[in-house]
Structure formats: structure tokens, C-alpha cells
Amino acid sequence: MRAQGRGRAELPAYGLADAEHQVEKEVLRAWPEARVEVTDIARAEAAGRIVEEFVVAYRVDAVVKVEADSPEEARREATRRLRAAFEGTRHRRIQWVKVE
């Protein structure tokens, strides 16, 4: 099953590229076969410091291999597996918007 999700994470980083890299690395650690695309990065605070807080929005595309008796059961199982994979990470709130 193919799944698409969207998420946002607030994290400390040394700059925009570091924030983007952290999100990609963390999502891939939870689901190694995923594809991650950062869609927006913004500073959470206006004050400039060496380490700043960033809000990173991203999209995740993943393939989940499931066996089920019906397409609906397969979607539920794929969503359950994805949620379990990201549980305990800052990305646990990914909204899986499309599972087919």
C-alpha cells in the first residue's frame, strides 16, 4: 500500500539546512523506505542565536507491505503500522492523509 502523510516538527538546529537534515534523518530512521520532502521551514523565534528553534513542515511517502482480506482492512493495517513506527518520535503526529 502506498501512504502519504504530512507533518510538522519544532526542533533546535544550527540553521535551515540542519533543521531539514534532522527531519529527513529522523523520519528515515523510523521508516527507512520512506521518501521525505520538506515543504516549509520557518524560524520559531525572531531572535537570532547560534542554535535556533525551527518549525519544519514536510510530506512523507511510504510503501507498506500488508496482506488483508479487503482493501479497507489493508488500509487500516498499513495506517496502524505507520503509526507504530513513528510512536515515540517527534514525528508521531504525522497525519496519514492517503493510504491506497
Query: Mean pLDDT in the chain?
Result: 94
* pLDDT given for residue 44 in this prediction: 87
Residue percentage of the chain with pLDDT more than 70? 98
**How many angstroms separate the CA atoms of 93 and 96, rounded?**
9
Domain boundaries, the chain: 2-99
* pLDDT given for residue 46 in this prediction: 73
Query: Is the pLDDT confidence value at 26 over 80?
Result: yes
SS3 letters across 19-83: HHHHHHHHHHHHCCCCEEEEEEEEECCCCCCCCEEEEEEEEEEEECCCCCCCHHHHHHHHHHHHH
Q: What is the pLDDT of residues 34-81, one digit of tens each?
A: 999 999 999 987 767 778 999 999 999 999 999 999 999 999 999 999
**How many angstroms separate the CA atoms of 53 and 10, rounded?**
7
The CATH class for the domain spanning 2-99 reads alpha beta
pLDDT, mean of residues 12-24: 95
E strand or H helix that includes residue 84: helix 71-86
